[in-house]
Amino acid sequence: MSFLPRHDVSKNSLGEGYWFLFYKDKLVTTAADCGPEVPRQDGQKPNPAQEALKALTNRILYIGTLNGTGCYAGSLCAETGLPDGYTLAALRPLYGSLSGELMQTARFAVHLLHWDRNTRFCGVCGKPTEDKKDERAKICPSCKTLFFPRIAPAVIVAILDGKKILLAHNRKFINSVYSLIAGFIEIGETAEQCIEREIMEEVGIAVKNIRYFGSQPWPFPDSLMLGFTAEYAGGEVRADGEELLDAGWFCPPNMPELPSGDSIARRIITWYENEYVKAP
Ligand SMILES: [Zn+2]
């Protein structure tokens, strides 16, 4: 069992179960002995601190169940004024310290809240939208246009040449972290075409034998990362100087600083280090 998404607009108010409350992409957590926890109402009534949290929350969506326990997503109206014992923590660094199931549900919650905030008005006629009762969507009461939650697919790819891997330093990365090449899929593009284009644009080389690796929801704010591997097929590596400040071939034991946490980038690089490089 794990998180099971459910849609029931009659339950869009905080009740018994887990409360995934966000201010933008920051999650409300409480400190427990074993690390940060998601607030949880046990029993019919919230405790006084939970009542105070409730008062700060201005939009609540029932999102489903986690191992049978109800889950709610909510948006805080302010970043300050949290009751004692509760803090706001950026979601990304919580990878690893929050349990996998809670993190999965938190990713769902923050992505859904982002969509909810961005579809308050009809993009066709400008009228306020309403929650659709029978499915996760908004409907415009005036022109009847439907708005479904959106996922923006992106690719992330390990380029391999013999035992070497291509890693790049993006201008947005902290410190001197090097990671894989990534980019959003354009309209009308296949994932494979996107990989070939992004790699040519960003590092100026051609690739072949593109293979699917795995995927990860990436709600920052609304992506699904599709991980791949590809083989180098020609050209000279040069960073584009805009997105990427540097790019080059690496091989253990001489690896650069790598992304931390439970990201698909890290999973692919770990596979490369532990399995690919060691294979005969
Ligand atoms: Zn409309």
Q: Which CATH number is 209's domain given?
A: 3.90.79.10
Cα-Cα end-to-end distance for the chain? 38
String of b and e for 89-104 (b: at least 16 CB within 10 Å)? eebeebbeebeeebbe
In a domain, 131, yes or no: no
CA 149 / ligand 1 centre spacing (Å): 17
Give the pLDDT confidence score for residue 32 in this predicted structure.
80
- pTM (global) more than 0.85: yes
**How many A from CA of 115 to the centre of ligand 1?**
17
Shared domain for 33 and 88, answered yes or no, is yes
State whether 111 and 173 are in the same domain: no
Domain boundary pick from 118, 140, 174? 118
pLDDT of the residue at 1? 62
Establish if 133 belongs to a structural domain: no
Distance 113 CA to ligand 1 centre (A): 21
Residue 208: inside a domain: yes
Q: How far is the CA of 121 from the centre of ligand 1 (A)?
A: 8
Q: How far is the CA of 218 from the centre of ligand 1 (A)?
A: 29
| Centroid of ligand 1 to alpha carbon of 222 (angstroms) | 23
**132 belongs to a structural domain:** no
CA 5 – ligand 1 centroid, Å: 27
Q: Find the 227 Cα to ligand 1 centroid distance in Å.
A: 37
The Å distance, Cα 136 to ligand 1 centre, comes to 17
Please return the burial class of 10, using the count of CB atoms within 10 Å of its CB with bins 0-12, 13-18 and 19+.
Answer: exposed
Last residue of a domain, one of 74, 95, 118: 118
- If asked whether residues 260 and 165 sit together in one domain, one would say yes
Distance CA 142, CA 97 (A): 45
Q: Report strand pairing: 26-32 vs 244-250.
A: unpaired
Distance 145 CA to ligand 1 centre (A): 6
Q: How far is the CA of 58 from the centre of ligand 1 (A)?
A: 24
Same domain, yes or no: 105 and 36: yes
Whose CA is closest to 223, among 148, 115, 123? 115
Written as six digits, the tokens of 274 are: 């532990």
- Boundaries of domain holding 50: 3-118
Q: What is the pLDDT of residue 166?
A: 98
Task: Give the Å distance between the CA of 189 and the centre of ligand 1.
Answer: 29
141 CA from centroid of ligand 1 (Å): 7
Same domain, yes or no: 105 and 24: yes
Tokens for 18, please give them: 């887990």
Q: CA 187 to CA 157: how far, in whole Å?
A: 19
Q: Minimal CA–CA distance to 112: which of 58, 80, 75, 83?
A: 75
Backbone torsions φ then ψ of 16, nearest 5 degrees: -60, 130
Together in a domain, 171 and 61 = no
Is the bond into 221 cis (omega within 30 degrees of 0)?
Answer: yes
Q: Please tell me the distance between residue 124's alpha carbon and the centre of ligand 1 in angstroms.
A: 5
Q: Is the same domain home to 113 and 167?
A: no
Q: Are 266 and 157 part of one and the same domain?
A: yes
Q: How far apart are CA 54 and CA 246, in angstroms?
A: 47
Question: Which one, of 225, 136, 120, 220, lies nearest residue 183 by Cα?
Answer: 225
For every residue of 159-200, DSSP letters joined together read EEETTEEEEEEETTSSTTB-B-EEEEPPTT--HHHHHHHHHH
Evaluate whether residue 258 is within a structural domain: yes
- 119's CB contacts (< 8 A; 6+ apart) are 129, 138, 147
Q: Is residue 71 part of a domain?
A: yes
Task: Count CB atoms within 10 A of the CB of residue 191.
Answer: 15
From the CA of 74, how far away is ligand 1's center (Å)? 25
Per-residue pLDDT of the chain (280 residues; tens, 9 = 90+): 689 999 999 999 999 999 999 998 899 999 887 788 999 999 999 999 999 999 999 999 999 999 999 999 999 999 999 999 999 999 988 877 888 899 999 999 999 999 999 999 999 999 999 999 999 999 999 999 999 999 999 999 999 999 999 999 999 888 899 999 999 999 999 999 999 999 999 999 999 999 999 999 999 889 999 999 999 999 999 999 999 999 999 999 999 999 887 789 999 999 999 999 999 8
Give me ligand 1 centre to Cα 118, in Å.
Answer: 14
Ligand 1 centroid–CA 144 distance in Å is 6
Are 98 and 194 in a shared domain? no
Here the CATH number for the domain that contains residue 22 is 3.90.79.20
Instruction: Answer whether residue 269 is part of any domain.
Output: yes
Ramachandran angles phi, psi of 261, nearest 5°: 85, -175
Statement to judge: residues 232 and 166 lie in one domain:
yes
The C-alpha atoms of residue 143 and residue 93 are separated, in whole angstroms, by: 42
Distance 150 CA to ligand 1 centre (A): 18
Number of domains in the chain: 2
Cα gap 10→27, rounded to integer Å: 24
Q: Which residues, chain by chain, have CB under 5 Å from ion ligand 1? A: 122, 124-125, 140, 142-143, 145
Length of the chain: 280
The answer as to whether 222 is a domain residue is yes
Instruction: Report the amino acid identity of residue 237.
Output: V
The reply to whether 166 and 263 lie within a common domain is: yes
Q: Which of 73, 93, 118 is the last residue of a domain?
A: 118
CA of 61 to the centre of ligand 1 (A): 22
Phi and psi (nearest 5°) for 196?
Answer: -60, -45
Distance (angstroms) between ligand 1 centre and the Cα of 221 equals: 24
Specify whether 163 is located in the same domain as 271: yes
Can you give the pLDDT at residue 93?
83
